Each structure stands twice: as C-alpha cells, then as structure tokens.
Amino acid sequence: MLITAGYAITARTNVFVQAWDFVWDYPGMLLATAGTALLILVVATSIRRARRRLRYESWHLLHLYGYLGVGLAIPHMLWTGADFTASAGATFYWWALWAVTAACVLWFRVAVPLLRSARHGLRVVAVAPDGRDGISVRVAGRDVHRLRARAGQFFIWRFLDGPGWTRGHPFSLAADPAGDELVISARRIGDGTDRLAELRPGTRVMVEGPYGHMTGERRSGSRLLMLGAGAGVAPLVALLESEPYAPGEAILVTRDHSAAHGLRRAEIDRLAMSRGLVHYTLHGRRADAGTTWVPASHAEWDGARLLQRIAGDLSLYDVYLCGPLPWMQSIRRDLRTAGVPAERIHSEAFAV
C-alpha cells in the first residue's frame, strides 16, 4: 500500500487509479492480487470467532487455498522485481528456491504419506461405540511399530471410503501404540467424525505423522496428574497405558457433560483395577465464572486448592492437559498459582 501511495504521489494521480494501473498493467500483478485475496481469506477464516462457525471440513478446504495464494504471488516477484530482472543468477536462485520448497511440500505432504501407508498396509479392523456419542476405530497393518508413534501423539487420518476421503482429520492415539495396532477415539460432532461410524473393516487408511510433543519423554517427575475434557481424555489414556508408575502414583481427572458422555471408560476402569490409577470425574455444565474448568455447581471452589486437594504435593507430579483451549488455560492458571513449574505442565490443544 505504501509503494502504491508513493507512486501515486510521484505521478500526481489518485492512489486508486495507481493501484488499478498496477493490477492491470504490471506483469503478474493480477495473479498476485488474487493470491493476496486468498491469503486474506485463510487468515479471516482462522480467526477464532469465524472458525467456530465453520465445519472442520469447510475450514480445511479453505485453508488449502493458502498454497494457491502463495503460488500466485511468486510470478510477480520474479517477473518485475528489480533484484531479479537485473540478474540472471538471482532469478535462477529464487526460482530454484521456490521449486525446492514446492518439491518439499509435495514430498512430505503427498508422497511420504502415500508411500508410508502403502508400505504398512493400514486398514480398519474394528469400529465400536465409545460412550453416548463417541466412536472408537482400530487400525492395523504391517510393522506399525516402525511408524515410531508414541502415546500422546496424533496423526492426520484419511479413510479411503469414498468421495471426500482426501480431507484429513487430526485424531490423537487413544491407546498405547506399542504393538501393530493404532486406536483412535473421537466424539461425533460433525460430518468427519460422524463418518467414522460408517467405516467398514478392511477400509484402507492413509496417515500423516506422528505429530505432537505431549509424550512421556517430557516427563521429569515421579508421579502423573492427567486432566482431560471431552475427547481430550483419549491421549491421556494412551499415556497412562504406556508410562510406568506405581499404584496410586497416577491421577486422572475427567470432565464431561455427564458420565454417559465419557470416552474410554472401560479402559480407565481397567487401569484403575490393574495398575492402581486414581480416577476423579467432574461432570456437568461448565462454569461461566469463578473456577471455569470445573462444573458450574462447583464454580465457587478455589481451583488451586482443589488441585492440591486432589494430588497433595504437586511438586512430585508432571501434569498433562488435553481439552478445549479455554478450559486448559483456566487449569494452567490454577496450576501455576498452586506452584507447579511451567516446565512440568504438558499440553495438547484438542480442537476439530
């Protein structure tokens, strides 16, 4: 905008006339303008308020236009930029740099997932309900352990079950991936998650990943305090299955609308029986004021004291959080107030 204003002042013309002249008469500017509009669209639809109004599938499709926007902006820079037009070496260098970048995107976002999925032969082996509105999917294949997935991480999943399979969905692992099977568990909140319930055994699966840093490798304390809300409970259960701890040294606090909505309840009960997991539930409508990570019926409780009451000496614990971002922010504030160091708080935002 400043360049346009400067040219308009020099030419003693209206800034809008000058902008029109740039777009229509300069090489590549029309493409660059379209690219800029696409990038603005991606930013605008990623603002939290706008994001909430969009289905994940719609947001994901719009987000992909960011690649097109960048691609459309490149020719203008290389065709009219003085640094490029005056030097064949500079032009070659930047064309080569952009070509390598495009090749990396195609390799890591397209080729690697295709090759990896084909090598491991991932397929759906079972689909089952998980709570009132949840669904659990088990996926198996060849040498799945070579994916090097760790409990607490997630993949971008694509199920080759018909039209729309190209849309990827981020789902965390809901069980310890130590064997040749991967398990996900999700709440049915949209077209993508509803579609999980319609999967059939034998459906081929493509994955990108694993991604995420909420793993046991970040643990430094002797005990575990896990706090999960909704579908955020799933990766915490995977961590509890994979991490070592003595009976009574791991605490899981789950937050749902009701007990019937809880995911991975059978696995949680099994961990309580076999490994001595301590499980507390906080069910009910979320509080709008006060301690907002607890149910509204307990909003007057002091969050920091409640955490100390649940766990005792918090200095012994690593704390893992997974759930909606505002919910985690509320807990994180109370954990810091209770004296838990920031490096002992590990989290993964759960938003689909």
**CB–CB of 62/45 below 8 Å?**
yes
Q: Is 201 helix (H, G, I), strand (E, B) or coil?
A: coil
> pLDDT tens across 90-125, in order?
778 878 888 898 899 888 888 888 888 888 999 999
**In the chain, which residues fall in CATH 3.40.50.80?**
216-349
- pLDDT of 57 higher than 70: no
**What is the pLDDT, as a whole number, of residue 210?**
92
- pLDDT of 147 higher than 70: yes
Picking from 266, 76, 75, 288, the residue whose alpha carbon sits closest to that of residue 175 is: 266
Picking from 47, 46, 42, 45, the residue whose alpha carbon sits closest to that of residue 73 is: 42
- pLDDT of 46 higher than 80: no
List CB contacts of 192: < 8 A, sequence separation 6 or more. 56, 57, 167, 169, 352
pTM of this prediction?
0.78
Once rounded to an integer, what is the mean pLDDT over residues 34-44? 80
Confidence class of residue 42 from pLDDT cuts 50, 70 and 90?
Answer: confident
CATH of domain 120-211: 2.40.30.10
Of the chain, the percentage scoring pLDDT greater than 90 comes to 37
**CB–CB of 229/285 below 8 Å?**
no
- pLDDT of 351 higher than 60: no
Site of tokens 């009701």: 258
**What is the pLDDT, as a whole number, of residue 11?**
65
Which overall architecture, per CATH, does domain 216-349 show?
A: 3-Layer(aba) Sandwich (3.40)
> pLDDT tens across 155-170, in order?
999 999 888 787 888 8
Confidence class of residue 352 from pLDDT cuts 50, 70 and 90?
Answer: very low
Confidence class of residue 67 from pLDDT cuts 50, 70 and 90?
Answer: confident
Of residues 40 and 176, more confidence is placed in 176
**What is the pLDDT, as a whole number, of residue 169?**
85
> pLDDT tens across 307-334, in order?
999 998 999 999 999 988 888 999 999 9
Once rounded to an integer, what is the mean pLDDT over residues 51-79? 72
**CB–CB of 267/240 below 8 Å?**
no
Which amino acid, residue 102?
Answer: A
> pLDDT tens across 253-269, in order?
998 888 888 899 999 99
- pLDDT of 192 higher than 60: yes
Any idea which of 35-39, 122-126, 226-230, 302-306 has the lowest mean pLDDT?
Answer: 35-39
Distance CA 216, CA 239 (A): 7
**In the chain, which residues fall in CATH 2.40.30.10?**
120-211
In terms of average pLDDT, the best of 84-98, 139-153, 296-310 is 139-153
- pLDDT of 350 higher than 60: no
> pLDDT tens across 273-285, in order?
999 999 999 888 8
